[in-house]
Structure 1
Amino acid sequence: MEAVIATALFIVVILAIVSRALEEAVAALAGVVLMVVLTSYTPIDAFHYIDWNVMAILFGMWVLTGYMVKAGFSQVVLSYIRRRVQSYRSLILMLAVTAGFVSLFVDNVLVILLFGGLAIEAARRSGGNPVLAVVLIGLSANFMGTALLMGDLPPQLLHSIAGAEFSDFIWSHGRPSSFPLLTITFILTLAAYYLLYIREEPGELNTIYDDEEGVDRGLLLLSTIFFALTVAGMAIRPLLGVPLGFITVTGAVLLALTVEATKRMGREWPGFDEILGEVEWRALLYYAGLFALVGGLEHSGVLEMVAEWLIPYLMAGGVAAYTISYWVVGALSTVVEHDALLLTFLYIIRDASEAGGFNPWPLYWGMAWSATLASNTTTAAAPALYVAVTLAEEKGYRVSAGEFLKYSVPFSLTSLFIQYILSSMVWAPLIH
């Protein structure tokens, strides 16, 4: 009976999130409370299922990047791009590439806010399509967050549940993994998108914001140094022997301490309270709720039952097992919030591999990739894309569901198929 109640609550929460009947954090936390009230799942159980290491990683990275943004990081990047492009088409394409690679390190919502407004303004002044421009920024920012360990929640889930380290996202089990494969797929997807949509946009680029007014180079240099040292610390975490969350929080605290000390000497730098105001506290609560909610499924035995059901299909190994896991998770991630879905399936595959004795790593990678890429289909699957839509509408450009899908579906499907072809050749043979 407990398993039925836990499953029903989980489904209701996911439906509430997908339909936007409730704000994501409220829905997830309400589901945890109801699970505690209606089953033997206790508040202590829920607390222990939350991965506080992941929470610390997210918090530390938001603080570090918050200082960089306050220092004028986005203005410097945009000015650099503007000086090197000659046409509107080139600008939009370069902004998309930049948004994708910046999201390796910075939360994708922040990346969309940094670059989306400029894309809309450039389109408006040059006679382009502002909706296409901002949606492309959103799709690109959501794309590459899984390529390295610190960019988005999916890679941090791989670290939490499967033990993936920073270097594993570049090379793992003797073969290329997330960063090289996703980079190839990203470039090829943008090339296809250029042929499909961007080349039809105007060529002439009218003047847009191009100076670096308001940039504090001292703070930018300082925050960039601390950010680079933190990333280096994450890369050598196994040698340091401390959790990733400790490394990121340490980097954030040392930067904040240095800034506060420097302010005493007359520098007009942002206070720590300003930086805390930039932290996505709702996202942290949402992720904590997800961990606790999925923990309830684990506690009630639901995930174990699903894992046992999947074992015969996955024991086939090779391309068949990889294909099943990749496309099932991918299909579901077009409409279900992909972080919650991936977290659930990582637990399931972990339990199935322990019971069935097969190598789970190809499935871990494949599910992380397909969940991320498929989530670009709808705003329900990737809430970050909702930010892009909202940004466009705030600027006076209404985005209908049909127009959004016109741009999102080709991008999502193209990337899914390219990544499947590349990754199945590299990783499927390891399933045995």
Structure 2
Amino acid sequence: MSDWHSWAAIVVFVGAYALIISEKIHRVAVALGGAGLMLAIGATDDVSAFYSEDSGVDWNVIFLLMGMMMIVGVLKKTGMFEYLAIWSVKKAKAKPFRVMAMLVVITAVASALLDNVTTVLLIAPVTLLVCERLALPAAPFLIAEVFASNIGGTATLVGDPPNIIIASRAGLTFNDFLVHLAPLVAVLVVVLVALCRVMFRMSFVYDEDRAAEIMALEEREAIKDPRLLVQGLFVLVLVVAGFVLHPVLHYEPSIVALLGAGLLVAVSTADTSEVLSEVEWPTLAFFAGLFIMIGGLIDTGVIDEVSKALADVIGTNELGGSLTLLGASAVLSGVVDNIPYVATMAPITSDLVHNMGGGGGHVMWWALALGADLGGNATAIGASANVVVLGIAERNRQPITFWQFTKYGLIVTAVTVTISLGYVWLRYFALG
């Protein structure tokens, strides 16, 4: 890492990260400015930034988000989210903590079946309406759902993008993830609910009048356009089926989402310009800038040096290596997006597994998955779902600051990663 480009890239990234944390400049402006500087200093170039699969903008993420945002935009016009908001509040007897617990569990389960970004796109509008009805601050509920989405997504191959990368490199199946990670995730969701009860206790203010008003409502009256609702749900089911059948169809989630959005706009009466206005364009721009900045670190060899240093520390020590990989991955995934991190670490982990005489289901792969997925909860930009929810909150005038998210994220990450370390030791070493 003697090349000055490497040190310049580090300075740009650290400076941008500091500005995002300070919130003195809007995070979108910082990300795009940082991306511009990476290009200006030659840390990356136009080919790497826009066309490289390893170090460029992840267009699959961008277009997956855009397609799902369009579908959600159409569904919002049907009154479906109002229906779900009233239904969920009535089921929870309008008790704020019960509402949060129910939304957390639903988010975790949905994130395992879909992916965590798609889930928060669907659940966030419901949450905002629930909080408006109960006169509650939306931020604690949205933050709790982000944690649930990242934890729930850890359980399956399709739940979190890093898992797809790991499965491809290690030759793992959907059932492998269920067997090895789902039991732990079930425990972590219960732990998260308990943590939410403590962390957000000041937000659970029960308003009897508001509760009585909602309990008296008939949720079916919230549906404004039944025909559009049927069309939207039909397309959503097709999209979800496309996600689940990825191993068979071999269509990337981004293609499935765009096909679904195009089909829904084509067969419905929804106005195209109105649908496009529902897309969180600033969030997509932030992702693009962030990908280019991280690409600069990849192209200059910074991330590769960090990964190799980690590999040198691990050596052939399975227990120490697994625990180190899990902990280090959690820390690094809280700073850089976990997708490029896992893409960089996957081949190194493969070499480590080979040196230890292991195969596809080796403990090192599960350590990498747990660290990368759970570490994404640590900061506001640690995972894609975090950034998406912050964008939705800001658009709905319920802004969540970097530190407001991160002060809770560090607690959740510390607890869940500690439990995961114990799980790895117990399952793969103590019990053989």
Calculate the TM-score normalised by the size of structure 1. Answer: 0.76
Q: Give the distance between the partners of 1:199 and 1:376, measured in 2 at CA.
A: 21
Residue 102 of structure 2 corresponds to residue 106 of structure 1: no
Aligned partner of 2:254 among 240, 245, 255: 245
* Cα pair 1:230 1:248 within 8 Å, conserved: yes
1:279-318 superposed matches below 5 A: 279-318=279-318
Per-residue deviation, residues 208-252 of structure 1 (Å, max 9, x unmatched): 443433432222222111111111112222322333322221121
Equivalent in the alignment of 2:62: 55
1:11-410 superposed matches below 5 A: 11-39=14-42, 41-48=44-51, 49-86=56-93, 88=95, 89-101=97-109, 104=116, 106=118, 108=120, 111-119=123-131, 121-122=133-134, 124=135, 130-131=136-137, 134-145=139-150, 147-148=152-153, 155-159=160-164, 163=168, 171-172=175-176, 175-177=179-181, 181-191=184-194, 193-194=196-197, 205=208, 206-209=211-214, 210=217, 211=219, 212-259=221-268, 263=269, 270-331=270-331, 336=335, 340-353=336-349, 356=352, 357=354, 361-375=365-379, 382-383=386-387
Give the RMSD, CA atoms, in angstroms: 4.1
> Given residue 18 of structure 1, which amino acid in structure 2 is its aligned partner?
I
SS in 2 for 1:71: coil
* Cα pair 1:304 1:351 within 8 Å, conserved: no
C-alpha distance 303-138 of structure 1, shift in aligned 2 (>3 A): closer
C-alpha distance 19-246 of structure 1, shift in aligned 2 (>3 A): same
SS in 1 for 2:105: helix
C-alpha distance 374-200 of structure 1, shift in aligned 2 (>3 A): closer
C-alpha distance 421-243 of structure 1, shift in aligned 2 (>3 A): same
* Cα pair 1:3 1:300 within 8 Å, conserved: yes
Q: Give the distance between the partners of 1:218 and 1:171, measured in 2 at CA.
A: 37
* Cα pair 1:99 1:111 within 8 Å, conserved: yes
C-alpha distance 403-37 of structure 1, shift in aligned 2 (>3 A): closer
Q: Give the distance between the partners of 2:35 and 2:18, measured in 1 at CA.
A: 15
Q: CA deviation at 1:192?
A: 5.1
* Cα pair 2:148 2:192 within 8 Å, conserved: no
Q: CA deviation at 1:365?
A: 0.9
Q: CA deviation at 1:40?
A: 5.8
C-alpha distance 317-273 of structure 1, shift in aligned 2 (>3 A): farther
Q: CA deviation at 1:66?
A: 2.2
Equivalent in the alignment of 2:359: none
> Given residue 312 of structure 2, which amino acid in structure 1 is its aligned partner?
P
Q: Give the distance between the partners of 2:250 and 2:371, measured in 1 at CA.
A: 28
Q: CA deviation at 1:253?
A: 0.9
Q: CA deviation at 1:135?
A: 0.7
Q: CA deviation at 1:183?
A: 3.8
> Given residue 128 of structure 2, which amino acid in structure 1 is its aligned partner?
G
Deviates more, 1:181-190 or 1:90-99: 90-99
Count of residue correspondences: 400
Q: Give the distance between the partners of 1:10 and 1:306, measured in 2 at CA.
A: 15
* Cα pair 1:10 1:31 within 8 Å, conserved: yes
C-alpha distance 139-3 of structure 1, shift in aligned 2 (>3 A): same
Q: Give the distance between the partners of 2:200 and 2:261, measured in 1 at CA.
A: 41
Q: CA deviation at 1:312?
A: 2.2
Q: CA deviation at 1:421?
A: 3.6
Q: Give the distance between the partners of 2:194 and 2:232, measured in 1 at CA.
A: 34
* Cα pair 1:374 1:416 within 8 Å, conserved: no
Q: CA deviation at 1:375?
A: 3.4
C-alpha distance 389-425 of structure 1, shift in aligned 2 (>3 A): farther
* Cα pair 1:75 1:215 within 8 Å, conserved: no
SS in 1 for 2:230: helix
SS in 2 for 1:15: helix
Q: Give the distance between the partners of 1:378 and 1:39, measured in 2 at CA.
A: 25
Unaligned runs of 5+ in 1: 125-129, 264-269
C-alpha distance 119-310 of structure 1, shift in aligned 2 (>3 A): same
C-alpha distance 322-237 of structure 1, shift in aligned 2 (>3 A): same
* Cα pair 2:379 2:410 within 8 Å, conserved: no
C-alpha distance 418-224 of structure 1, shift in aligned 2 (>3 A): farther
Of all paired residues, the percent bearing the same amino acid is: 19
* Cα pair 2:379 2:402 within 8 Å, conserved: no
Q: CA deviation at 1:257?
A: 0.9
Q: CA deviation at 1:171?
A: 2.9
Unaligned runs of 5+ in 2: 356-361
C-alpha distance 419-307 of structure 1, shift in aligned 2 (>3 A): closer
> Given residue 346 of structure 1, which amino acid in structure 2 is its aligned partner?
V
Q: Give the distance between the partners of 2:75 and 2:406, measured in 1 at CA.
A: 33
Deviates more, 1:109-118 or 1:223-232: 109-118
Equivalent in the alignment of 1:267: none
Q: CA deviation at 1:425?
A: 4.4
Q: CA deviation at 1:427?
A: 6.8
C-alpha distance 222-184 of structure 1, shift in aligned 2 (>3 A): farther
Equivalent in the alignment of 1:127: none
* Cα pair 1:92 1:119 within 8 Å, conserved: no
Q: Give the distance between the partners of 1:331 and 1:191, measured in 2 at CA.
A: 23
C-alpha distance 120-413 of structure 1, shift in aligned 2 (>3 A): farther
Per-residue deviation, residues 312-343 of structure 1 (Å, max 9, x unmatched): 22334434223223333434666x4xxx3424
C-alpha distance 364-289 of structure 1, shift in aligned 2 (>3 A): farther
* Cα pair 2:329 2:375 within 8 Å, conserved: yes
Per-residue deviation, residues 261-293 of structure 1 (Å, max 9, x unmatched): xx3xxxxxx312111111111221222222222
